A and B are shown apart, each in its own frame.
Chain A
Amino acid sequence: MPVQDYNDQKLWQRRTGRESLFHWVLWLTGVAIFAYCWQQISDATTWFFVWDAPRIANDIWTRATPPKWEYFTQLGKPIWDTLNIATLGTIIALVLAVPVAFAAARNTTPSRFLVRPIALLIIVATRSINSLIWALLLIAIIGPGVFAGVVAIAIRSIGFCAKLLYEAIEEIDETQVEAITATGASRWQIMAYGIVPQILPAFAGIAVFRWDINIRESTVLGLVGAGGIGLQLSSSLNVLAWPQVSLILLVILLAVVISEWVSAKVRGAII
């Protein structure tokens, strides 16, 4: 009881004595766990390599600079592949995510006990596995190359897009839907007039946001052989061609900055 009577005055405190003790113990336990973990990690670390790190980093830096600018001519195609993987993957993911989102949203699902759990399972399953792992699996199934990358990006993005979209669907203003229903509109007309206009800004935002993420994800897909600029990166790393590596990193940085700029512009225009 935070209010106490004391000399005819009512004293108010945020917590009772017992509560503040409990909080104090909680904090103490937290700090103790942190200290213990720190100790464990420290014991498991070979500190020699860590102390050595600045020298090695400096060594790689001198090997990697200046970047091998003439290598740039060979990067045009891979970076174009990377862009295509991201864009196509996003489009495919969006097409597949829309029905999943409508099936998963409480207010639009055809059946709460059958369809909705399946839709939620699709969302969780596709979201929980990283696109790099999807790519590894898909390369084994459909062989290495850009197509595997596109499919990996698409699968990984379904859950992400569907989840954000179904949350947007659940947050719509139901009275607008009610008003359209009251006109005698059919199920699909209610969707087209009552729901779609309300979620369109969210949809556009999700699409651009995911495209932006996918550009970044697709740059590494080549590391496992799924096409794009990551392929060049891994082969350059394998032969210790550090000037090439530094140029590739610069190109990736440039691509990401441009995609960031584009998505910011698009989002600003739509919302």
Chain B
Amino acid sequence: MLRLEKLVKTYKTGDQALKAVDLEIPEGQVLALIGPSGAGKSTLIRCINRLVEPTSGKVYLAGTELTGLSAGALRKERRRMGMIFQEYALVERLTVMENVLSGRLGYVGFWRSFLRKFPQSDVDEAFRLLDRVGLAHMADKRADELSGGQRQRVGICRALIQNPALLLVDEPTASLDPKTSRQIMRLICELCKERGLAAIINIHDVALAQMFVQRVIGLRFGAVEFDGPPDGLTPDVLTTIYGEEDWEATIEKVDDEEIDDTIEAAQ
């Protein structure tokens, strides 16, 4: 579904953020990207939708090569890649509804979007998605009135209304408390399963990644150090990714039932 071939990114400063990364993600697979700060996680997912231009290498999305596309063709392909951000990146002064509908900008002409005349099918879909994440009653609120968890849910809706085949998720839980983090991760993974989406999730919290994903990639200095199932993250592996540390205490299995309870209580 998504294939990266020898993807290299060298910044103008000379920092090599990505060193010939090869990666293949099959349809519907949710993958966690872990690694220390500065390992190139953010750069990697931004090179996929070319928010950051890769220096060399190829990116294939369902057979289409992205790095050589013209601006117009790239915009069309970006619609197939929903992105979710660390600090939510909602347009703060627009309403929740406008933020969700902004996910359709790639499909709607300028004047229609400028005058907020989105097709009724888009509006229906926006309400459906907001309902799915439990924010239907918030549609008219301004984005800056929402709490962190609520904002991230709006961010998820904005990505999903694009009708993407792939989600690029950049530290979705870094600004959230532990409980909300789990709820958001669970929501993202559930939605991916419902819609058969592949996802790349950048995440710092190794335990959280282990709980929810099927595959983990460990990145260190812009190179893939680990690629395997979440169970394969032994202390030794974590040491090769992050460096020396006492890992035993921090990668304990989290009790899943307990989290189910808290989510039910929250709903």
Report chain B residues within 8 Å CB of A193: 91, 94, 98, 102, 105, 113
How far apart sit A8 and B107, CA to CA, in the bound complex (Å)? 74
The reply to whether B91 and A183 contact each other, CB–CB distance below 8 Å, is: no
Residues of A within 8 A of B76 (CB): 184
Say which one of B25-33, B82-90, B237-245 lies at the interface with A: B82-90
- Chain A min CB distance to B180 (Å): 20
A250 on the interface (CB 8 Å rule)? Answer: no
| Closest chain B CB from A264 CB (angstroms) | 22
The answer to whether A185 and B75 touch (CB under 8 A), given A180-B102, A193-B102, is yes
Q: Once the chains bind, are B90 and A176 in contact (CB under 8 Å)?
A: yes
Which one, A14-22, A194-202, A211-219, A230-238, is touching chain B? A194-202
Residues of B within 8 A of A42 (CB): none
**Contact of A179 with B by CB under 8 A:** yes
A211 to chain B, nearest CB (A): 23
- A-contact 0/1 string along B2-37, CB 8 Å cutoff: 000000000000000000000000000000000000
Whole-angstrom CA separation of A178 from B88 in the bound complex: 11
User: Least Cβ distance of B153 to chain A in Å?
Assistant: 15
Q: Are B81 and A182 in contact (CB under 8 A)?
A: yes
B91, B104, B105, B162: the one contacting A176 at CB < 8 Å is B91
Give CA–CA (A132, B19) in the complex, Å: 62
* Residue A7 is within 8 A (CB to CB) of chain B in the complex: no
Within 8 A of B (CB), among A143-192: 173, 175-176, 178-186, 188-189, 192
Nearest residue (CB) in B for A178 is B51
With A184-B105, A193-B102 already in contact, the answer to whether A179 and B90 are too (CB < 8 A) is yes
Q: What is the bound-complex CA distance between A188 and B112, given in angstroms?
A: 12
Q: Is B41 an interface residue (CB 8 A)?
A: no
A183-B110 CB under 8 A given contacts A193-B94, A197-B91: no
B215 at the interface (CB under 8 A from A): no
For residues 79 through 135 of chain A, which have their beta carbon under 8 Å from a beta carbon of chain B?
A: none
Q: Which of B90, B98, B102 contacts A183 (CB 8 A)?
A: B102
Smallest Cβ-Cβ distance to B113: which chain A residue? A189
Residues 200 to 231 of chain A near chain B (Cβ within 8 Å):
200-201
B174 shortest CB reach to chain A, Å: 13
Q: Knowing A197-B94, A200-B93 touch, does A181 contact B110 (C-beta < 8 A)?
A: no
A182 CA to B164 CA, complexed, in Å: 11
Whole-angstrom CA separation of A125 from B102 in the bound complex: 39
Say yes or no: B83 contacts A182, CB within 8 Å.
Answer: yes
Closest to B94 in A: A197
Q: Which residues of B contact A186 (CB under 8 A)?
A: 75, 105, 110
Given A175-B87, A197-B94, A189 and B105 touching (CB < 8 A)?
A: yes
| A189 CA / B78 CA spacing, docked (Å) | 14
The chain B residue sitting closest to A188, CB to CB, is: B110
Q: Shortest distance in angstroms between B197's beta carbon and chain A's nearest beta carbon?
A: 15
A194 vs B89: C-alpha distance when bound (angstroms): 10
A183–B75 Cα distance when bound, in Å, is 8
Per the 8 Å Cβ criterion, residues 101-120 of B in contact with A are: 102-107, 110, 113-114
A183–B89 CB distance below 8 A? no
Inter-chain CA distance A194–B107, complex, in Å, is 17
Selected A-B contacts with CB under 8 Å, 7 pairs = A176-B89, A182-B49, A182-B81, A182-B168, A183-B103, A185-B113, A198-B93
For the complex of A and B, 7 pairs with smallest distance between CB atoms = A184-B106, A185-B105, A184-B78, A179-B89, A182-B83, A184-B79, A175-B89
